């Protein structure tokens, strides 16, 4: 038989664990603070860009609070790392909402989709870094807002740019495009939502190639792409796998033009792919934090005041900061109506945003009661000498019925 002392030790452990779990008990947010809930990926598979995004949201809160908060009330950001786990996201979401969060900043595709019905039930305006086109349709996701161009519209812009580039280079017939995508809704959505329809309309020939999760080599896919003769490769994946694909393409001597969408067109890709990244095209709804854009002044001042190097941050930082800023504007407008701040009033306030200026950081943001896709444009960049350099100003996505 085990000695009673050991048993007592276990009981103490259990009591501690139980008490710790009890921390979830909810107290309502008082009138003095505005509570915002957030989940970040700091340790999971998307932590590479997740960390910058998270730091930006926290930075924005610090900056805003330092200037008196919103309508005289301080912002209380309650957040946790959720390591990209859907179950953890659900737990943290209900915990933070119960603690009085009235808006919520989400992250990944799996957890955002899983939370759509609950978010609608709880009436909590929800932002996510997942930019699936249908999340911006209030008929399907009434409380979700897209603060950046949806993946589908990014793809349409990329197709437009490709068609123009192809014509400029004197290519005959339609351009051949290989869409290299992550094996998930995130990866496929540019194609299934609008992309397929638009490609056939403008006569661009698109073939799909899947990037399996956790794959560390895409030589086979690149070989197939070379055989297909496609002149352009569009990558819809995060920086780490995309950088591997870029290296594979270059080591095979493939001279196709590579176009990265949102989550791989950042400084991390250049860092990881090194020399091979030269000439890669990137579509960016949000520019890098050190870009020469007036709207980035606050962000730059904040980072400099903290003694940080602005150029060390990726454009995920800009995206996190302005996602928070756009929701902050919703909170400001809701507070200005004089009615109590609730998820519903914030949603109504967000829907009044029309051509909201971000100082050239994004195209002006517009939400309406039947469209929660705030932005429909992005700039095209190119890697030159290890730096992203702008190639075009904002290109907006064509309307696809």
According to CB under 8 A, which one of 48, 52, 76, 113 is a site residue for other proteins? 113
Residue 133 near residue 373 (C-beta atoms within 8 A): yes
**Distance between CA atoms of residues 249 and 229, nearest Å:** 13
Question: Tokens at residue 344, please?
Answer: 């519903």
Q: Does 33 bind other proteins (CB under 8 A)?
A: no
Residues 177-196 that bind other proteins (CB under 8 A): 183-185, 187-189, 192
Helix (H) or strand (E) holding 387: strand 387-390
Least separation in angstroms between residue 20's CB and other proteins is 4
| Nearer to other proteins (CB atom), residue 24 or residue 279 | 24
Of 33, 65, 90, 352, the one binding other proteins (CB under 8 A) is 90
Residues 34-53 that bind other proteins (CB under 8 A): 42-43
Asked if 354 is part of the footprint of other proteins (rule: CB under 8 A), the reply reads: no
Least distance (Å) between residue 275 CB and other proteins: 32
Look at residues 62, 61, 64, 76 and name the one whose alpha carbon lies nearest to residue 30. Answer: 76
Closest CA to 243 of 48, 10, 102: 48
The yes or no reply on residue 98 touching other proteins (CB under 8 A) is: yes
Tell me the closest approach of the beta carbon of residue 190 to other proteins, in angstroms.
12
Length of the chain: 401
Strand order in the sheet with 126-127: 74-81, 33-40, 103-105, 126-127, 144-145
Distance in Å, CB of 295 to other proteins, minimum: 28
Figure out which of the listed residues 32, 62, 121, 357 binds other proteins, where binding follows CB under 8 A.
121
Q: Buried (b) or exposed (e) across 40-64, using 16+ Cβ within 10 A?
A: bbbebebbbbbbbbbbbbbbbbebb
Stretch that binds other proteins, among 86-94, 221-229, 274-282, 385-393 (CB under 8 A): 86-94
Residue 236, both tokens = 């819809």
Query: Does position 139 bind other proteins by CB under 8 A?
Result: no
Would you count residue 342 as binding other proteins (CB under 8 A)? no
| DSSP letters spanning 43-106 | SSTTHHHHHHHHHHHHHHHHHHHHTT-BTTBEEEEEEEE-TT-HHHHHHHHHHHHHTT-SEEE-
List the alpha helices (DSSP H) in 258-314: 267-273, 297-305
18 binding other proteins? (CB under 8 A):
yes
Between 98 and 368, name the residue whose CB sits nearer to other proteins.
98
Using CB under 8 A as the binding rule, whether residue 30 contacts other proteins is answered as no
Q: Which residues bind other proteins (CB under 8 A)?
A: 1-4, 6-7, 10-11, 17-18, 20-26, 42-43, 78, 80-81, 83, 86-88, 90-92, 94-95, 97-98, 109-110, 113-114, 116-117, 121, 183-185, 187-189, 192
């Amino acid at each position: 038989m085990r000695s009673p002392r050991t048993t007592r030790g276990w009981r103490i452990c259990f009591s501690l664990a139980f008490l710790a779990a009890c921390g979830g008990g909810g107290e309502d947010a008082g009138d003095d603070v505005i509570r915002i809930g957030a989940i970040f990926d700091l340790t999971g598979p998307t932590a590479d860009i997740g960390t910058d995004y998270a730091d930006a949201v926290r930075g924005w809160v610090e900056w805003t609070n330092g200037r008196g908060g919103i309508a005289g009330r301080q912002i209380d950001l309650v957040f946790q790392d959720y390591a990209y786990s859907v179950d953890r996201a659900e737990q943290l979401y209900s915990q933070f909402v119960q603690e009085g969060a009235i808006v919520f900043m989400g992250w990944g595709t799996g957890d955002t989709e899983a939370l759509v019905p609950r978010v609608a039930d709880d009436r909590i305006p929800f932002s996510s870094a997942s930019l699936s086109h249908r999340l911006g349709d209030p008929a399907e996701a009434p409380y979700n807002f897209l603060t950046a161009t949806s993946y589908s519209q990014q793809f349409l812009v990329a197709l437009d740019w490709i068609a123009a580039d192809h014509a400029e280079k004197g290519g005959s017939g339609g351009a051949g495009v290989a869409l290299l995508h992550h094996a998930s809704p995130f990866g496929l959505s540019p194609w299934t939502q609008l992309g397929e329809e638009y490609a056939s309309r403008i006569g661009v020939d698109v073939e799909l190639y899947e990037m399996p999760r956790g794959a560390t080599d895409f030589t086979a896919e690149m070989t197939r792409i070379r055989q297909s003769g496609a002149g352009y490769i569009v990558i819809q994946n995060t920086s780490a796998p995309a950088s591997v694909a870029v290296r594979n393409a270059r080591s095979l001597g493939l001279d196709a033009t590579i176009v990265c969408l949102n989550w791989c067109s950042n400084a991390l890709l250049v860092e990881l792919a090194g020399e091979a990244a030269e000439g890669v095209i990137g579509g960016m709804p949000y520019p890098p934090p050190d870009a020469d854009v007036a709207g980035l002044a606050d962000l730059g001042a904040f980072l400099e005041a903290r003694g940080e190097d602005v150029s060390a941050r990726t454009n995920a930082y800009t995206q996190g900061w302005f996602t928070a800023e756009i929701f902050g504007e919703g909170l400001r407008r809701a507070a200005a109506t004089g009615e109590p701040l609730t998820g519903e009033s914030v949603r109504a306030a967000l829907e009044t945003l029309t051509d909201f200026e971000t100082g050239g950081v994004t195209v002006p943001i517009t939400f309406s009661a039947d469209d929660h896709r705030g932005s429909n444009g992005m700039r095209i960049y190119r890697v030159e000498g290890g730096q992203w350099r702008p190639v075009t100003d904002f290109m907006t996505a064509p309307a696809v019925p």
